[in-house]
Structure 1
Amino acid sequence: MPWDARDTMSLRTEFVLFASQDGANIRSLCRHYSISPATGYKWLARWSEHGAAGMADRSRVPHHSPNCSSDGITDLLRLAHARHERWGARKIKRWL
């Protein structure tokens, strides 16, 4: 018996095509594809908004990072490290 080797995009597209038919039970399809209902509804929303391109994986990088240092501080740190290569983080922090 051969393995059923399919990629993620084809499985997502198959799920969406079955789920978008009239009278489809989305919860049972989610169980069949071993995904949560929230994920199933998310894929359906992406399909209706973007079509087949919406099924691709998206970046998980946060859009906003409030604890990130500003570019000015990062430049100062690089400058301090370039001038004093042997200094560690504590000494550079005191210097700044």
Structure 2
Amino acid sequence: MPWKEIQIMDQRLQFLSSYQKEEMSVADLCRAYGISRPTAYRWINRYNETGPEGLVDRSSRPHSCSHATLEPVENTILVLRAKHPSWGARKLKARLEMLQPDVVWPAASTFGNILSRAGLTSPQKKRKRTTPCSEPFSRVTGPNQLWCMDFKGYFATGDGKHCDPFTITDAHSRYLIRCQIVSRMDLSQVRAICDAAMREYGMPARIRSCVERFVRDAQRLERHGVFQQ
């Protein structure tokens, strides 16, 4: 037993010895030993029940946890993860809620803790923070001098559909002129979006795009006075 714990035990035994000898009142003993009256009576009751062993500090840890995840629930989560190794906590939770709506599933954070305890997660790499840019994308002095067009990269939605957003941004104001989902990277769809944007906001002086198919359409744009950059 550490020295500090022995010293505390000695003080408690001295307190009980003084109490049994009735040398002082409980209030005076509390002031002498620097403890509260509820604490004093707690040690007195414990000593009367189990003797000196009752003076040892007891663990405050609860015997059971009401919000602990049940083992069958954890097993179900791990079985589904084994079938889909690339799924994360949120996707596992969403699928199980769909498959078994009557079960009260824990929070997504609990799903993550279960996967972590099972060694099924890896720490995320910290991204380097870049200095925010407050300047325009290019040397432009006013709106409609340069529009930036690009596909932002496709992804699958929750129902499994293909989503490929196409955006048009004004380089000077950074105003998002268009953000529209297209079924595929088709020039006819992009052309329709651009035509609608130009009718609404006017013709830009230049257009910047890294998509090769936009460059191929440069001749049509140049006839209207719009140049590729």
- Matched residues in 1 for 2:15 and 2:45: separation? 13
Number of the residue aligned with 1:19: 19
**2:164 aligned residue:** none
Q: Percent sequence identity over matched residues?
A: 32
Larger Rg: 2
Quote the Cα distance in structure 1 between the aligned partners of 2:78 and 2:10.
Answer: 46
Unaligned 5+ runs, structure 2: 97-229
Paired residue secondary structure (2:31)? helix
Q: TM-score, normalised by structure 1?
A: 0.75
Moved more, 54-63 or 42-51: 54-63
Q: Given the alignment of the two structures, is residue 95 of structure 1 paired with residue 86 of structure 2, yes or no?
A: no
Counterpart Cα distance in 2 of 1:36 and 1:70: 41
SS at match of 2:21: coil
Matched residues, number:
91
Structure 1: gaps (5+ residues): none
- Does 1 or 2 have the higher relative contact order (CA < 8 Å, sep 6+)? 1
Instruction: Give distance in 2, aligned partners of 1:85 and 1:21.
Output: 70
What do you get for the CA RMSD once the two structures are aligned? Answer: 2.2
Aligned residue runs from structure 1 range 1-96, under 5 A: 7-22=7-22, 24-81=24-81, 83=82, 84=84, 86-96=86-96
* Equivalent residue letter for 2:72: G
Alpha-carbon distance in 1 for matches of 2:92, 2:70: 17
TM-score, structure 2 normalization: 0.35
Instruction: Return the offset for 1:33.
Output: 1.2
